Structures are given as structure tokens and as C-alpha cells.
Chains A and B, each alone.
Chain A
């Protein structure tokens, strides 16, 4: 299958020619397949946010390329807006970007700029609201009357309304409570599954990435440290920890158990999976 998104030798340097000159992303390459759920993880300052702002052309690479469906997104700089309709970016704390009088109008902003009108526009707005979990009775309210979690859903709906084929989310659940986090992730999973959209999720939470992503890209000091399915990445937990990253709590329990002579797979990252292994061990069978 052809990659939907390709990042080739991407470097981005801030403040060229000033004392603050610093490469936030250096020679980063990776491919994203259509319909994939990619998780990007890395600690503060590792270059995650700079990297994803290249995916829809908000930042222009200092060197290297970003290809969408095999074509350089900067091939025709005047058409960069079309790229932004195809690659939807939900920033950190997107609720600070709401500006319209009503929730309905705020969600309408993107699809209106795409040139949609009438019933088609109305349908896109209501569908996006439904997908993002915005309640019908909120559509005619001012976004500023809503709670933080509800506002965030409105901001997500505003991006979903453009029906991007690639959805990029920067820390979508930061600051939400556990129930709010789980609900929002369920909405994002639904969008991924039902629309066949490609999703790129940037998160600090290893647990969140572990539970949702097909593949994980680990960034460290502007470079890709590792990339692979969750089980492969967490099998290298020691390396992750020494890179200053977290590993899921369950993985740490598995590591501690191995240190105590209990033969469990140290790449396990959910409580269900570790429970299964331990039950199998107790029965005397080989862990599955």
C-alpha cells in the first residue's frame, strides 16, 4: 500500500543566525500508511509539536520534504490551504481558539472556507458535532458558556467538519479528568474506525498511546529514537526509561516481576494482558 504521508529527512531550525539557533527537528524520516493510528511520543522539547506543524504546512521545512499522497506539499505554495483541509490539525488546548458567537457557527468556519453551503454544510456540521460528542442542545449556545471539556469537543468538531483524511492531534486529552479522557479517546477511535481516517496522536501519556496506537514513533532530542508496534517499543523499556520517557505502569510491574524471578513478558502493557499471563503462570502452563 502506498503511504498517505511521508516525511523525508525533515530538519527544522529555529532562529537561524541568532544566538538562539537550534534545530527542533533534525533529519527525521517516517511513513504513515492510510488508515493507520500512529502515536508520537517524546518528552518536552523533543520536537513533537514542531514536527506535526509540518504535516499540514504550518511550518516549512528548513530542509527535507513532507509528501501527501506522494506529492510534496510545498510543490505549489499558493495551494497550501488545500493541504490544510486534507490534514486536520488539532492543537494543544484548542478550546482557546474558539471565537464564534455560537457553537454551530464555530464548527461551520472550516467547511465554509472549503466552499460548502446549504444542506451539505449543515450536514457536515451536525455530523462533526455528533462524532466529537457535542450535544445538540449546545449547538446554539455560545462556546464560552461551556465547560473546558465541552469546549475542547467543539474545537475537535471544527476540524472534523472539514473531513480531513489525516487527523493530527496534539495532546487532545491534556487537563481532562480520567472519565473525560476516556470519552474523548473513544470519539477519536470511532472517527478512525468508521471513517477509515488516518490518525496521528501526540501524547505524553504512554498508557494512552499504548492503548490506541498501531505503531509508535518515539522522538528524542529532535531525532527518531525508535519506531514500531507497541509491544516492540515497550520491549525496549529500559531504553525508554533512560531516555527520560515513561513506560506504562503495567510494563514497570512486569519488569519488577522479572527482577523477582517471575517469568512474564516484559513488553506487556495492559492490566488485562498481565492478568492473563499471571493466571497462566499460576496454573502452571506456559504464558500465552
Chain B
């Protein structure tokens, strides 16, 4: 079994007032997230990307179709605890995710609830805080930290559960560039070194540059699915879906329209500069 998460004809509608027609936020989604992969989900507001993410650990249950987490059906209530232990979720607003008065207690919350032995909790809390670069703040009060720091504590809290998969639902949206970089490098490290599957829901196109795979949602369906290079080189289609392309791709696209021979999939700053330098005969 190599799929971490698999959905089959997944449909979901939020509750509406009596007599109103349900509006489907997801209208038939089939995706398979491979174990150990780093997948970014993009889409404009209302495209269904956050709804999709919330079905991945049974925060929301399918109204039609299925979601399987390591083969476990999320509709099977007896598997709920197992599923949530396998897939940890980090949300957008850190203020809604802090539960304790001291950082280390907050991070220990999940493993304590899972009945992990005390020494092991200590080890996990320290490791989790180190992974997000917050080890200095072990005994601080979370409410006195900045938004970015709080978010890293929330991520540490999930990591301390040692899940097989972490889903980040716009978890970087409230962070500054430094905070965002730190969080991203922390999740990339978890993915690389511990083989944790990462599903990152974001508005920030450049966070998708280093992903294994990018899924673009639109109107409750999967609109595009491929490697970052494949996705971002489709400039017109992305714009049509209400998304922007990274500035590097925008620049390359402009140069191509002027007849330059540069690739559209040089997403990174260095790759982009290499491509332009080559086109100018300076490499």
C-alpha cells in the first residue's frame, strides 16, 4: 500500500438552511497522495482546497464517495482516532490552536493524550521544537509570542504526535517571509529526513516550487495535476483559474513573447537567471 491518502469520487456540501439547495464544495475529486511525497494544493478562494484538506483527517466526512487514509475509510467511526493520529493538521490561525500556558506543555498535549511515556514525551517535545527552530522558547508563554512563532509551536504540536502525514491548511498565510521560510524549511526537512508525507495548502505560488507535485483545485474539482514545472509553464491556464504565476515565470513568459528561447519551467531564481544568461550568451 503506497498511498497515504486516496479519495474516490469525493463530494462534500456544507449545511444550508432548510429549503435551500446544497452547494457542493467538492464535486467528485479523485486524488491519490503517495507516501513520502510533498504535495502542494493551490486554488483561489472558494475553489474547495481547504474543504478537501479537511476531509484528509476526517474533520469533514464525505457526503458522497470515499476518503482512505492508509487504506482506512474515514467514514468508519471506529478508525477515527487512528486516522487522526496518522494525519496531523495545522490550520491558518495559530491563536485558535494553542491550548496550554507554557510552550512545552502545548507541544506535549497530543502525545500526553496518546499515553506516550513521560521520557518519550520529553524527547519528542524537544525534537519537535528544534525542528521548527523554537527550542529557545520551551518555557515561554505562547500568548506572548508573535503570530509566526505561535504557528511554529502549533506545527511542533502536530509533529510531536509523530504522524505519517502533516496537512497544512494555509498555515503560512499569517507568517512573515522569514517565518514562512522557517516553517517551509522545517516541513521540507520532516519530509526529507523522516519521510513524513506533506500536503501543503497555500496561496503562495513560490511555496510550490520545490514540491514533488502540484494539484490545482477549481470549482470543487481537480483542474490541474502535475510537477511544478508542468503546472507553472501553463501561464494562461493558471491566470484563467484566478491564480498568478511566480514572477520568474512571468518574466520568462514576457521574454518568450519577444521571441527569446527560454524555458517556462525555470521556477527558481537561480534557474531563471541561468536560463536568461544562456539566452544572452553568458553562461
A residues with CB within 8 A of B: 20, 43-45, 147-149, 174-180, 182, 204, 206-207, 244-246, 248-250, 252-253, 256-257, 259-262, 271-272, 274-275, 278-279, 281-282
Contact = CB atoms under 8 A, between A and B. Distances in A.
A259 B274 CA distance: 10
Contacts, number: 110
Nearest to B249: A271
Given A260-B273, A262-B277, A176 B45 contact: yes
18 contacts: A44-B146, A44-B178, A44-B179, A147-B46, A176-B45, A177-B243, A204-B177, A245-B177, A248-B247, A249-B248, A250-B247, A252-B269, A253-B247, A259-B273, A260-B277, A271-B250, A275-B255, A275-B258
Contact of B283 (A20, A43, A149, A260): A260
A44 B276 contact: no
Given A175-B170, A244-B178, A249 B269 contact: yes
Nearest to A171: B174
A176 B255 CA distance: 29
Interface string B245-275: 0111011001100101000000001101110
A262 B273 CA distance: 9
B149 interface: yes
B45 A177 contact: yes
A179 B280 contact: no
Contact of A178 (B175, B242, B254, B283): B242
A271 B247 contact: yes
Contacts of B255: 275, 278-279
A202 B215 CA distance: 31
Given A147-B45, A174-B174, A176-B203, 11 more contacts: A45-B146, A149-B45, A174-B173, A175-B170, A175-B203, A178-B242, A179-B242, A260-B277, A261-B277, A261-B282, A275-B255
B203 A278 contact: no
A226 B260 CA distance: 37
B258 A279 contact: yes
B92 A175 contact: yes
Given A43-B178, A250-B251, A281-B280, A180 B273 contact: no
A274 B133 CA distance: 36
A253 B251 contact: yes
Contacts of B174: 174-175
B65 interface: no
Contact of B144 (A20, A43, A244): A20
A246 B177 contact: yes
Given A204-B177, A275-B254, A256 B146 contact: no
A267 to B, nearest CB: 16
A220 to B, nearest CB: 11
The 8 closest A-B pairs by CB, nearest first: A256-B273, A246-B177, A249-B247, A178-B244, A260-B277, A204-B176, A44-B146, A177-B44
A43 B280 contact: no
Contacts of B277: 257, 260-262
Contacts of A45: 146
Contact of B45 (A180, A256, A275): A180
Contacts of A262: 273, 276-277, 280, 282
B107 to A, nearest CB: 20
B163 interface: no
B270 to A, nearest CB: 6
A35 B250 CA distance: 32
Interface string B172-203: 01111111000000000000000000000001
B206 interface: yes
B149 A257 contact: no
B28 interface: no
B148 interface: yes
Contacts of A253: 247-248, 251, 269, 272-273, 276
A44 B282 contact: no
A43 B177 CA distance: 7
A147 B14 CA distance: 13
B147 A44 contact: yes
Contacts of A204: 175-177
Contacts of A245: 177-178
